Amino acid sequence: MTDIWIVFAIIAGIIVLFIWDRIPVIAVCMGAALALWATGILSLQQSLAGFGDPAVIFIAALFVVSGGLEVAGVTTWAGQLLIRQAGTSRTRLIVLMMGFVGVLAAMISVNGAVAALLPVVVVMAIRLGRSPSQLLMPLVFGAHAGSQLMLTGSPVNVLVVEASENAGAAGFGYFEFALVGIPIVIGCVAIVVFFGERLLPSRTSKTLPPDLSQHARTLVEQYRLTSDINQLRVRAGSRLIGRSRDSLPEFAQNGLSFVTLKSPDGQPVRSAAVAEGDIIVLRGPAEEAAAVAGDLGLAFREDLPEGGIADQLFNRNSGLAEVLIPPRSPLIGQRFFPGMVTESGDLIVLAIQRQGADLAADEALKSGDTMLLQGTWAALDTRLDQAEVLVVDSPDLVRRQAVPMGQGARTVLVALGLMVVLLATGLVPPAVAGLIAAGIILVSGVLSVDQVYKSISWTTVILVGALTPLSTAMQVTGAASLLADGLVAVVGDAGPTALLAGLFILSAVLGQVISNTATSLIIIPISVVAANQMGISVQPVLMCVCIACAGAFLTPVATPTNLMVMEPGAYKFTDYWKLGLPMMIWFFIIAVFVVPLIWPFALPAAA
């Protein structure tokens, strides 16, 4: 078997295994890279060289920036702004939603944009009395269209720019994608506005993402912290100064109960002793609180901050978490009380209930008891990831939905703006710009090292790194030339426009069954060789492939985001092509007929 046919066999194996979907994607990709080495097509260094490719580093850095935007609450702010601006008009709602997710996808990738706005759109659909299935597929398709607005919209964009530069062309600027991206987005929005209601089903799934936007108020009401809340300031000379905070639950008499101890600026106090200026929060009748205040040298707080107790306990700095004591928990039998600081020192117990009733301070915990805890978001993320308790709602998920523009939002926006400027001006290579932005987010503490690891889609990174050598193998063996010869022969004398049509169809069909990133790595070397054989510029050819790979509309397995909305939208396999086919036709028109008007086929004149 010749080297060319070995490469074809490896490609066929990759496609079959991707469609079969029984072996992990990363295992298939790594197997392909090792197969190129084992068969002697490439050396070991060549077969693993993709993991050192600058494009792979840039893609990983983009995931870190995306994670920073989510954790800092920037995407939450964007979603809440969408809800406020959408109104009740269907047309206005569709235009704003698809435009919004398109711009967000252009900055933080399709996966990040859809994941951030999916619960927001579900809540919006329910509040407006609309079926989620009428909105969720347009959300995803709008993200696919928006990925063509900027370089950072998709890994395919990065690969296309690298291929163009390697072929000796000028590449594509950061905002240059918008020349086709803007008409793509406008056309997709128009299709949904005029035809979407008839082409999309009207169904409501039994399993919808939870609405956690009012999570704090729900918890405060559940644990009865909304009424009879008294905030007392510790005055100079108070008998409580210097006393242990563990003694404060003695207020649990005469109808009063201790809730928490806060600093003058409203943050939880974790120190062991009470200090002047601290705020003691008590629940109970105001008359009893006044009696206690007079006896202990306290004063009712007059400078109450805006917002209720929910906003004071739940904000950009700290959050609330409800936990359940599971069977066999080591906490069973221990005594906890409101105001107590946990053993870790960074969580405060606000309330304890047993079957919906407040638990007396001197009772030991039992299986099934619930506690309301307050702490910094970082503490809630790390301390509750243990077997001692079961977390009712993930603090990370709550923060992403309910805390707009939280800690680090300004830092993340600065990092994003700096990256955009560096990419737009070309002052440094894309990988360097991405690493600078990711580094700012890490060093500033917006994301911890563990959060950085979690924010990166390692499947995408490994896929690109492992399959990049496949493109090299197609070139060095002549496999790309052979396929390009066949494609050019089929096109015949029809000209370069027919070549674009052929490449679009090939890319689009393949992209419905395997990853669009994997598709681009297979098609890019073929398109470059075909362009060279026809004596035309590689730029329109590569941009055509880029647009075709973004058109993953016809099946739910085409991209992870298509699958992401399948269950909450109650979609069937056949629902996708009904709206996806008009979208694909529009992509075809832009890729085949508009692209050559922007990037001509003619080769630039030699200097």
Determine phi and psi for 244, rounding to 5 degrees: -70, 140
Same domain? For 126 and 193 the reply is yes
In a domain, residue 451? The reply is yes
* Domain C-terminal end among 310, 334, 353: 310
Same domain? For 222 and 192 the reply is no
pLDDT of residue 588: 96
Cα(334)–Cα(569) distance, rounded to whole angstroms? 45
Taking 80 as the threshold, does the pLDDT of residue 486 lie above it? yes
Same domain? For 164 and 235 the reply is no
The residue with tokens 């992990």 is 24
pLDDT of residue 210: 66
Kindly state the percentage of the chain with pLDDT values over 70.
92
Same domain? For 248 and 192 the reply is no
Exposure of 65 in the CB half-sphere (CA atoms within 13 A): 29
Cα(50)–Cα(239) distance, rounded to whole angstroms? 68
pLDDT of residue 436: 95
Number of domains in the chain: 3
Taking 70 as the threshold, does the pLDDT of residue 271 lie above it? no
In a domain, residue 598? The reply is no
Read off the pLDDT of residues 536-579 as tens digits, 9 standing for 90 and up.
999 999 999 999 999 888 888 778 888 778 888 888 888 899 99
In a domain, residue 462? The reply is no
Same domain? For 237 and 300 the reply is yes
pTM (predicted TM-score)? 0.75
Cα(344)–Cα(291) distance, rounded to whole angstroms? 34
Q: Give CA 459 to chain center in angstroms.
A: 15
- The CATH code of the domain that includes 367 is 3.30.70.1450
In a domain, residue 303? The reply is yes
Same domain? For 253 and 323 the reply is no
pLDDT of residue 266: 63
pLDDT of residue 54: 87
Cα(594)–Cα(179) distance, rounded to whole angstroms? 10
Question: How large is the angle between the packed helices 155-166 and 538-550, nearest 10 degrees?
Answer: 170
Give the Cβ contact number of residue 348 at 10 Å: 25
Same domain? For 123 and 149 the reply is yes
Sheet with 257-262, side-by-side order of all strands: 257-262, 279-283, 229-234, 298-300
Q: Give CA 327 to chain center in angstroms.
A: 34
DSSP 8-state class, residue 554: S
* Domain C-terminal end among 290, 310, 330: 310
Mean pLDDT check: name the lowest of 13-22, 55-64, 327-336, 355-364: 355-364
Three-class SS of 457-482: CHHHHHHHHHHHHHHHHHHHHCHHHH
Read off the pLDDT of residues 534-543 as tens digits, 9 standing for 90 and up.
889 999 999 9
Taking 50 as the threshold, does the pLDDT of residue 57 lie above it? yes
Confidence of residue 439 (pLDDT cuts 50, 70, 90): very high
Give the DSSP letter string of 175-202.
TTTHHHHHHHHHHHHHHIIIIIHHHS--
Kindly state the percentage of the chain with pLDDT values over 90.
28
pLDDT of residue 160: 93
Closest listed residue to residue 207, CA positions, set 571, 579, 580: 571
Cα(419)–Cα(146) distance, rounded to whole angstroms? 19
Which residues lie closer than 8 Å to 475 by C-beta, 6 or more apart? Answer: 525, 529
Q: Which residues pair with 358 in a beta bridge?
A: 353
Confidence of residue 38 (pLDDT cuts 50, 70, 90): very high
Taking 90 as the threshold, does the pLDDT of residue 512 lie above it? no
In a domain, residue 261? The reply is yes
Read off the pLDDT of residues 385-399 as tens digits, 9 standing for 90 and up.
677 888 888 887 777
Read off the pLDDT of residues 197-238 as tens digits, 9 standing for 90 and up.
899 988 776 666 666 667 777 787 787 776 677 888 888 888
pLDDT of residue 139: 94
In a domain, residue 590? The reply is no
Same domain? For 68 and 206 the reply is yes
Cα(410)–Cα(112) distance, rounded to whole angstroms? 19
Question: How large is the angle between the packed helices 90-108 and 178-191, nearest 10 degrees?
Answer: 150
Give the Cβ contact number of residue 590 at 10 Å: 23
Taking 60 as the threshold, does the pLDDT of residue 606 lie above it? no
Taking 50 as the threshold, does the pLDDT of residue 607 lie above it? no
pLDDT of residue 242: 85
pLDDT of residue 208: 64
Same domain? For 92 and 203 the reply is yes
- Name the average pLDDT for the chain: 84
Closest listed residue to residue 508, CA positions, set 559, 548, 553, 557: 548
In a domain, residue 573? The reply is no
* Domain C-terminal end among 262, 277, 310: 310
Residue 329 belongs to what domain range?
316-393
Cα(171)–Cα(167) distance, rounded to whole angstroms? 9
- The CATH code of the domain that includes 302 is 3.30.70
Q: Is 273 helix (H, G, I), strand (E, B) or coil?
A: strand
Same domain? For 236 and 360 the reply is no
254: left (phi over 0), alpha (psi -120 to 50) or beta: left
In a domain, residue 516? The reply is no
pLDDT of residue 423: 86
Using alpha carbons, list the distances in angstroms from residue 320 to 73, 240, 309, 420: 16, 27, 12, 35
pLDDT of residue 357: 83
Same domain? For 78 and 155 the reply is yes
Taking 80 as the threshold, does the pLDDT of residue 362 lie above it? no
Same domain? For 202 and 70 the reply is yes
